[in-house]
Structure 1
């Protein structure tokens, strides 16, 4: 550490507040995870995932992640910036996740190589922060007068009370508070998990700078700021308060309360339909942490209610939630099975929230959900050979996974993926001072020095339902060990040193208390059964599970195109009778309704295959009556996919950014369970869509009651003919088609489309560019 850096760090601490004073644990937390430094993973898919993730973390260069940070501090950038999102306005979010992921690995293994990289990154961040001199340390950018400039200007505008947002941006900046949270959280993790002394002074400077921006704002101004996605800023400030005892940070955590979302949830109202899912989950994690550091029971209501609603009414069979990043109406899933289901960030955050709720109420059911997500979504979301990640986990028939590039993606789900696969050791074992809870059956060794207990967990799960717990060292006192009996297990059995055991049952656990001796063995048998999970809105659409694993039909290599129909099943009894056991664990066969051979196996491991997770089912008579309609619907869906050259889901951040969205005064709304853009008469909205040569069709999705509203539309400056005969209004979504000629400039690969409502406002949900084919100009969706 140079003399200059040392003095700069001291000045940041002086800016930020008092010395660190850790607060005592809150009484509401009844159990705590055994720190991962006492846990070592042994060979398994989880260990493979962590090893692949470590290799990826080591491959990343913190100086490249800090590229913009250097430039905006007036320092030379030693390395070029990465591509993908890091080369866009959200630059810096990956750095925060990388800091947290490195800290998680270091906390588990003490990894010297990652420790050195993390320390170097923190030393550079201290140097950058010192150059600013006010605690600022950021790399976001924003457009001003056609130029890309330092995103710090957004924070300074907000400080002055100049606040503008269309829902996803803050003063034109791409979610700068979201990125700020990632950096703040990463610094706290580097302090608490990795024990790096450089981290906390930087974190306090970061906390102090943003607090200086937000503290003067009125509540109305603050609510305007919070319209933009801001991650878990309330959690980071609550954690900073827990580490320092400085009530300034507690006041900030409580000020960052987005009332439009959190007040209805506190009133136990599910108004999630149409909301961007991952924008909301961190807000609830922050409330949960506030409950823990203050003991205020009011902060606990919304997190509990939200978790119950999302897991019970908004989640798919793999435990993930959302379609195109948004919640739909509760219990409406069968019509939302697409190639854009289950954003990985959502599951990452739902698991964080689950850990909080479990710590308040240590019941096994919380980890039934945790296990479902960890096995079927998180393991599926990373390729174990390359360590690359998936953004959406597609559940439509024939869909394949799309993986990130090592240096040119850096989506949000790459960042959360770095953390997800650094923490497979952090939730296996929990304790309350008297009992050791075994919550996840992940092969591992526990050497819990404070508890005087060492044991080995050998298990073939999730592939086979057996686990053996062998005591290697025990304290000289009675010790309770509680083993989670999963909800999927059919009549589990236990033996102790080979003899049948009838344990005490408590809250979903088999509890064995005794004076343990080295060599004691508990053997647990967890029989697995084939079960079905229907969609709540259409029980004839089902998914299959076997034990803890979701099954999926293998529909061919991901590299091959999929032009077939999604498989359906015909059975005269329960849907599970359509499957017969194959060879090998979790292997089943079925005969599809269209006479195709289907092989079902664990979904998570089908990394390079096209799959089907949900299956429409029919009785023999029902299939005979509906076969033609089913085939026709499948063919129409296939034709629509073939004709589509581009599509924009309006009111959603990434699709709008990808299509050059411009609108001076439009508004994001969430109506009829979907996000949309509302445009006033005389105002315009501009998009850029890809198209193929030749005549094309522009298709708009609107609500049926709005189908007769007039709109002027131009494509590359050429007006389209939009006069239509009045249509009968309908209480559902409909599509409207406008033909586009191929003359003049219309044959370009990209088309600029401008929409201007004439007399009444327009609410547009979706814009699609199609190749031209004959068809009904107005059809119901």
Structure 2
């Protein structure tokens, strides 16, 4: 914890008193977005037609209306000294992070109003705004928050953390208050823009002012310390307040909300993302993108824009899986080292929600169609896949390890971060279909919908069975004067053809076919032939995924109620070509090339309740007989360890260390070996908590294989567990050692594990896990 100087505390207090919170403060002229070449049509001008996208919106809408805003507002009112009007929900809403769901909900119902025009969603949004305004008035300073903290055995209002920050008392273990606060601020901004509600902007200004006065009273170094924990999209929201009000104070706050440790490297073209919590970084970059749009000066062109562009290229090309998602266990790994990072917790859904936001910004700068090749891939195969259109529930992760099914949320008792972003994602499936470049209309996604460009008297109607169909029809149902139409040519498309009123038409311009001078009554027909194609892992060309057109295909391995006890499906073929045989529409098989059997492959996105396999290891016909036994045995060993694991920490990764209360001396630094990160045992210590469970347990530690003849100690709850000297072998990549724990120790809810070295050892440790001991049969 760092204490600010007396001068700094005085400066903070003065800034707060001078600015204060004035709910009715006059708002200046909005700042203009200055560098956007292509812009999306407002969501209120787009209506979805019957399709999987509209089904998702309808189901999500029913879920949003089933939620009670008063229950989401419980902590906000209680923290302000007002009587709650409803019991709080469970899951994360019953924990210290509570409140983020209200912000997401505020955004989601606002988006739903814009997407559907249904007034009940606007009524919900404005109700939340009125409640927040009442809470702000009671607090008197613009604050409205739902977070709580535990102090001296009591759960109290999380506002205490902000006031400690104001004084310069910075504790990076005090939870994620700014992460939650940003969601509330973003919700108010969305309600203002999408529901045309000035009161919501006043709430947003009050929320921004409260945190703004804190930031203004702190030095840059103190802010950098705060930014070492997840602080959401505060930089973006400050920039957006500048855009809405024209008040340059918000622009300055956005510029100061720049996490130098991460963003300086990106601006310099360096990928230093490995080991970092993925979704913490993406909103930082979105903030840079928004700043550049509002101020395209040389400073932001050479820094903000450069960092945003480099980050997007790096994540999409070097850190993303075939479905367009990224991260394992919420973290980035080493670039282009993905083959060893296929697990049950790949592709956090929040990450892709934010990557699509960033993609929209960058596409708007240039209109380069390749941005929508990524957008389409991720939207169809990840976003659409994370939401069960029957139940309306959401996934946190999309497991890409073979044999796993998706785990969906419950209506009242989860409220993960990905539930919140899911509420938003499935309220706005029409937001990126239709774009405008000057007087021309641009179509980037072939989703059944209509566009009403009221200002120009243009109406367009798109019919298609996409993504399962390859025919698209766009009709010009109204046009006061001729209009140009640009149609994206998807990268996966095989010889796309375009006709107008039955005649071949259009000219190719970059990634688009451009049709000039369309008139009311014209009919545009597209054919987008689809074919099976493959993608391999960047670090392992024998690990193969299959797609048909834009859709990733996955093997159906049965329902989650039936365990998958086989090995990871594989194929036996001398090349990736011609492996799949079509058996029906959107159904394929490996036939006799598949192991352990033919398998049926279907689109991944709508296997909502299936165990699946997305990546398949390919063996040649001569390799399989030799490697079959070892391949199957290795898969079974991994499955056995996973089933017996009680808790695990992956050392060197930000969130797992924070979750397990990691501490250590500076010389136990983070190291990277191949695709994995870890910590070094040196002349110091590192320690962490692990949760325990029933049964005899053992500590399983993964070391580098060539470490040997270097003594160190392992302690559990302050007592020596073992003096260890590793018998490593130079040719072994890893060395996994197990240590039995006394049952007297594991009877507690958790244990504190500590590694101590007496000299400079440099022994990498990658992960530590508590596993249930296998009971030997008598």
Same fold flag (TM > 0.5): yes
Is 1:711 the counterpart of 2:713 in the alignment? yes
C-alpha distance in structure 2 between counterparts of 1:693 and 1:749, whole Å:
12
Q: CA deviation at 1:376?
A: 0.3
Match of 1:382 among 363, 384, 387: 387
Q: Residues 251 and 734 of structure 1: is their aligned pair in 2 closer, same or farther, counting only changes over 3 Å?
A: farther
Q: Which residue does the alignment assign to 2:288?
A: 287
> Are the aligned partners of 1:645 and 1:769 in contact in 2 as well (CA < 8 Å)?
yes
Q: CA deviation at 1:536?
A: 0.8
C-alpha distance in structure 2 between counterparts of 1:58 and 1:243, whole Å:
29
> Are the aligned partners of 2:460 and 2:478 in contact in 1 as well (CA < 8 Å)?
yes
Give 3-state SS (helix, strand or coil) of 1:185's partner: helix
Give 3-state SS (helix, strand or coil) of 1:446's partner: strand
Is 1:499 the counterpart of 2:503 in the alignment? yes
Give 3-state SS (helix, strand or coil) of 2:165's partner: helix
> Are the aligned partners of 1:452 and 1:474 in contact in 2 as well (CA < 8 Å)?
yes
Give 3-state SS (helix, strand or coil) of 2:452's partner: strand
Match of 2:457 among 452, 459, 463: 452
> Are the aligned partners of 1:285 and 1:303 in contact in 2 as well (CA < 8 Å)?
yes
Aligned ranges for residues 61-210 of structure 1 at < 5 Å? Answer: 61-165=68-172, 172-210=173-211
C-alpha distance in structure 1 between counterparts of 2:285 and 2:711, whole Å:
39
Q: CA RMSD in A?
A: 2.5
Q: Residues 69 and 683 of structure 1: is their aligned pair in 2 closer, same or farther, counting only changes over 3 Å?
A: farther
Q: CA deviation at 1:314?
A: 0.7
Give CA deviations for 1:634-660 in whole Å, capped at 9, x if unaligned. 22222222333332334557656766x
Is 1:531 the counterpart of 2:530 in the alignment? no
Q: Residues 747 and 111 of structure 1: is their aligned pair in 2 closer, same or farther, counting only changes over 3 Å?
A: same
Aligned length: 749
Give 3-state SS (helix, strand or coil) of 2:463's partner: strand
Match of 1:357 among 346, 362, 365: 362
Give CA deviations for 1:204-260 in whole Å, capped at 9, x if unaligned. 111111111011211111111111111111110001001111011010000001010
Q: Which residue does the alignment assign to 2:754?
A: 755
C-alpha distance in structure 2 between counterparts of 1:267 and 1:229, whole Å:
22
Aligned ranges for residues 455-604 of structure 1 at < 5 Å? Answer: 455-476=460-481, 478-501=482-505, 503-518=506-521, 520-572=522-574, 574-604=575-605
C-alpha distance in structure 1 between counterparts of 2:177 and 2:666, whole Å:
21
Give CA deviations for 1:137-161 in whole Å, capped at 9, x if unaligned. 1111222223222111111111111
> Are the aligned partners of 2:474 and 2:524 in contact in 1 as well (CA < 8 Å)?
yes
Match of 1:339 among 344, 361, 377: 344
Is 1:396 the counterpart of 2:401 in the alignment? yes
Q: Which residue does the alignment assign to 1:6?
A: none
C-alpha distance in structure 2 between counterparts of 1:595 and 1:304, whole Å:
43
Give 3-state SS (helix, strand or coil) of 1:576's partner: coil
Match of 1:25 among 21, 25, 33: 33
- Between 184-193 and 700-709, report the one with greater CA deviation: 700-709
> Are the aligned partners of 1:235 and 1:289 in contact in 2 as well (CA < 8 Å)?
yes
Q: Which residue does the alignment assign to 2:7?
A: none
Q: Residues 348 and 691 of structure 1: is their aligned pair in 2 closer, same or farther, counting only changes over 3 Å?
A: same
> Are the aligned partners of 2:30 and 2:246 in contact in 1 as well (CA < 8 Å)?
yes
Q: CA deviation at 1:729?
A: 6.6
Is 1:415 the counterpart of 2:423 in the alignment? no
Give 3-state SS (helix, strand or coil) of 1:556's partner: coil
Q: Residues 488 and 217 of structure 1: is their aligned pair in 2 closer, same or farther, counting only changes over 3 Å?
A: same
Give CA deviations for 1:107-132 in whole Å, capped at 9, x if unaligned. 22232112122211111111111111
C-alpha distance in structure 1 between counterparts of 2:147 and 2:769, whole Å:
31
Match of 1:432 among 433, 437, 443: 437
- Unmatched tracts of structure 1, length 5 or more: 1-10, 166-171, 776-781
C-alpha distance in structure 2 between counterparts of 1:418 and 1:596, whole Å:
39
Q: Residues 581 and 515 of structure 1: is their aligned pair in 2 closer, same or farther, counting only changes over 3 Å?
A: closer
Q: CA deviation at 1:507?
A: 2.1
> Are the aligned partners of 1:666 and 1:678 in contact in 2 as well (CA < 8 Å)?
no
- Unmatched tracts of structure 2, length 5 or more: 1-18
C-alpha distance in structure 2 between counterparts of 1:411 and 1:252, whole Å:
29
Give 3-state SS (helix, strand or coil) of 2:438's partner: coil
Give 3-state SS (helix, strand or coil) of 1:208's partner: helix
Q: Which residue does the alignment assign to 1:169?
A: none
Aligned ranges for residues 179-258 of structure 1 at < 5 Å? Answer: 179-258=180-259
* TM-score normalised per structure 2: 0.92
Q: CA deviation at 1:704?
A: 4.9
C-alpha distance in structure 2 between counterparts of 1:75 and 1:295, whole Å:
45
C-alpha distance in structure 2 between counterparts of 1:445 and 1:209, whole Å:
42
Give 3-state SS (helix, strand or coil) of 2:456's partner: coil
C-alpha distance in structure 1 between counterparts of 2:159 and 2:711, whole Å:
42
> Are the aligned partners of 2:277 and 2:655 in contact in 1 as well (CA < 8 Å)?
no
C-alpha distance in structure 1 between counterparts of 2:337 and 2:56, whole Å:
33
Q: Which residue does the alignment assign to 2:11?
A: none
Give CA deviations for 1:282-327 in whole Å, capped at 9, x if unaligned. 0110000000011131221011110001111110000001111111
C-alpha distance in structure 2 between counterparts of 1:161 and 1:709, whole Å:
42
Q: Residues 610 and 29 of structure 1: is their aligned pair in 2 closer, same or farther, counting only changes over 3 Å?
A: same
> Are the aligned partners of 1:692 and 1:749 in contact in 2 as well (CA < 8 Å)?
no
* TM-score normalised per structure 1: 0.91
Q: Which residue does the alignment assign to 2:12?
A: none
Q: CA deviation at 1:514?
A: 1.4
> Are the aligned partners of 2:668 and 2:681 in contact in 1 as well (CA < 8 Å)?
no
C-alpha distance in structure 1 between counterparts of 2:190 and 2:520, whole Å:
37
Q: CA deviation at 1:683?
A: 6.0
Give CA deviations for 1:31-79 in whole Å, capped at 9, x if unaligned. 1111111111111010011111111111111211111111111111121
Give CA deviations for 1:405-440 in whole Å, capped at 9, x if unaligned. 111111111111111111101111000222100111
Q: CA deviation at 1:747?
A: 6.7
- Between 751-760 and 723-732, report the one with greater CA deviation: 723-732
Give 3-state SS (helix, strand or coil) of 2:50's partner: coil
